[in-house]
Amino acid sequence: EKLDLSNNNLTGEVPEFLGNIKTLLFINLSGNDLNGSIPQALQRKRVELLLHGNPRLCHLTDSCTKPHSKKFPVAIVASVACMAILVAVLVLFLVFRKKKLSTLEAQQLPPMANVTSADSHEPLVEMKSRRFTYSEIIRMTNNFQRILGKGGFGMVYHGTTLNGSQEVAVKVLSQSSTQGYKEFKAEVDLLLRVHYTNLVSLVGYCYEGDHLGLIYEFLPNGDVKQHLSGKGGKSNINWGIRLRIALEAAQGLEYLHTGCTPPMVHRDVKTANILLDENLKAKLADFGLSRSFQVGGESEDATVVGTLGYLDPEYYHERRLSEKSDVYSFGIVLLEMITNQPVINQTLHITQWAGFKINRGDITEIMDPNLCNNYDSNSTWRALELAMSCANPSSSKRPSMSKVVNELKECIEGISKNPGLGSQEVTTCLDTSVVPRAR
């Protein structure tokens, strides 16, 4: 913070206590009649200090000799007065700053409350969220004992609500995070007013000084990316379950686009942001980059955010953001779930790789080998065509998420007629030559 006391006819010595105020980064004492030496604490402190216009002030303590004065009592009185003025200014500054922060907090983060959906026929879950203190977060996580993962916002820890009734995932802002209060507020604001069965539920949040935290329901089966790669001991999932997961993620996006007022764009749709509960039910997560948009319109974005490989090329190059940006990202997700190929393999994007394989016309070259050829070719071709349609470079040629949902439902209806392919069990290919590839 700054302290400007220039040109105030201040006399006496520079007070020692200024060097002990940790929040001060800039002090301007120029244009006064200060004398004596600069306190050692100020010389050691990394603070910008302006002292010009004080001819009787010594800048180095070892070269400063205090002149004897016959007006010694007057100098003491002046020094005391100077210190009193400085203390009064600092007290007023700190009180005003604290009051301003409290007012800002109250205005920008309203208490959590129940919300309703603009689309009453969609399945909703009652919102039961509240604000937690940082000490409660520490108790929930057992002093941050078990790490679940790490993201752009910070570390994610496993925890349990204080009454022991629910497992939770606690996301805590890291001091080195590239994200911050803006992303934190965006996520709280969104999950305060929307709550849908295929969106991860917010249990509560923490906003206490520099401590920011988000508390979610805990989804024990990790994310889709882990299941595709086999990382973290996750099992491979069969074709029927992959289609159902894709449908549930699509329904979450459809709700953001058509069930919210105003509509929302997620802006970071990827397999790592599709979480799975104990029944492998899919829920979209990580809404820190989401933002609203006008129905049927586009918005200009000065800063492009998202994950490389999943980014809509029109949004990336032209800064044009719309709901079709999410559609593109979902197309990449669907391709990843079909092929289990990396989104970017050296210089080759997954859409280019799939395009080459599609031209050869052999579905077995495209499908994830971990599926062990246990899939219905009609549904796979249909899902592949849908994925490529979503990932069209031109946003005007991409389908809406409502159409994507309908197409995926028809794919699932097709395989449900084949008893061997519609199973909801998790299967693992036993052929060691096609075990999940680490990526």
Annotated binding site for ATP: 171
Q: Is the dihedral of CA 122, 184, 130, 165 positive or negative?
A: positive
C-alpha distances (whole Å) from 196 to each of 126, 187, 200, 397 are: 9, 14, 8, 28
C-alpha distances (whole Å) from 373 to each of 8, 104, 369, 377, 413 are: 84, 58, 7, 9, 19
Contact (CB, 8 A) for 206 and 215: yes
For the record, the structure tokens of 58 come out as: 């010594």
Residue 47: count other Cβ atoms within 10 Å of its Cβ. 16
* Angstrom distance (rounded) from CA 268 to CA 359: 30
Q: At residue 64, what is the residue type?
A: C
376 classed as catalytic: no
Residue 281: count other Cβ atoms within 10 Å of its Cβ. 15
Q: DSSP letter string over 21-50? A: -TT--EEE-TTSEEEEE--HHHHHS--EEE
| Cβ neighbours for 106, distance < 8 A, ≥ 6 positions apart | none
What are the φ/ψ torsions at residue 88 (nearest 5 degrees)? -60, -45
DSSP SS3 for 415: helix
Active-site pick, 33, 189, 268, 301: 268
Catalytic residues: 268
